[in-house]
Amino acid sequence: MRIEIWSDVICPWCYIGKHLFEHALQQFPHKEEVKVVYRSFQLDPYAPQRRTENFIDRFASKYDVSVEQAEAALATIEQAAAEARLEFHLAQTRSGNTADAHRILYLAKARGLQEPVIERFFRAYFTEGQSLFDHDSLVRLSAEAGLDPQEVRRVLKNNTYIEHIIADYAEAQNIGVSGVPFFIIDGRYAVSGAQPSELFTQAMDQAWSEPPLPSDPP
C-alpha cells in the first residue's frame, strides 16, 4: 500500500500530522507492506531564496492579524504539538523559501533516506530553531541524517530536482489540495490536516480491505 504525503518543512501542522500518522502506522498490522512517499508543497513558493523573516511577523502579515494575535495562535499550535509529544519553539523560527530543502528531500528519496531526512529537518526547524534556508545548514543537517554532504552540495549548486518540486505542486493543484498536510492513502482515500491517529487507522484499514485499484503502482 502506497501513502503519499504533501507537506512543507516549515508547516507546523505538517510535523504534527506526520507524528499522528506515524503513531497510527506503527499500530497497523501490515505496516511492513506500506510505502510512504513525501511530496513537496511550498506554502510560500514566491519567497526570495535564502532570505528570511521572523516567523511571527510573517504569520501576522499572511493572515492579516496583529502580532499579539499571531503569538496567541502560535501558542495554540505549540500546545497541539505538545499533545503529539513534540516540542515546538515557534518564536525562534524564521520563514523563507523551502525549495532547496525540498530538492534535498528528493535526493534523500533516491537514496532511501527520505523519512530520516525530513524528520531531521522538522526537528531542526521547530524544536532547535535552526535554518533550513542556507546551503551550509542544509548540508550539515542532511549529513546528520545519513546523506553524503558532497552530493548534497552538488544538488544544491546545480538546481537538481527542481522539476519534481514543480510537478508536485501542479499535481496538488489538480487534485484540489489547498493546504497541507494532505495524505492520499492507496490512491483512494484523502485525509486533509493533522487528524487524530484513529482517523488514519480507519482509512488504512478500509483501504487494505478493498481490492487493489487497476492503476495502483507496483
Residue 214 located in a structural domain: no
Residue 215 located in a structural domain: no
Q: Lowest mean pLDDT: which of 5-9, 57-61, 181-185?
A: 57-61
Residue 204 located in a structural domain: yes
pLDDT at 47: 86
Question: Total structural domains in the chain?
Answer: 1
Quickly state the pLDDT bin for 214 (edges 50, 70, 90).
low
What is the rounded average pLDDT of the residues 163-184? 95
Using DSSP's 3-state secondary structure scheme, residue 89 falls into: coil
Output the DSSP codes for 110-133: HTT-HHHHHHHHHHHHHTT---SS
Residue of 48 and 1 predicted with greater confidence = 1
What is the rounded average pLDDT of the residues 179-203? 96
Residue 76 located in a structural domain: yes
What is the rounded average pLDDT of the residues 193-217? 87
Residue 40 located in a structural domain: yes
Which tens digits make up the pLDDT trace of 65-90? 999 999 999 999 999 999 999 999 99
Which tens digits make up the pLDDT trace of 16-28? 999 999 999 999 9
Residue 217 located in a structural domain: no
Domain CATH number, residue 53: 3.40.30.10
- Structural domain range at position 110: 2-209
Which tens digits make up the pLDDT trace of 107-136? 999 999 999 999 999 999 999 999 999 999
User: CA–CA separation, 147 vs 145, rounded Å?
Assistant: 6
Residue 164 located in a structural domain: yes
Residue of 149 and 47 predicted with greater confidence = 149
Helices and strands: H and E segment counts in the chain: 9, 6
Residue 216 located in a structural domain: no
User: CA–CA separation, 50 vs 14, rounded Å?
Assistant: 22
pLDDT at 137: 97
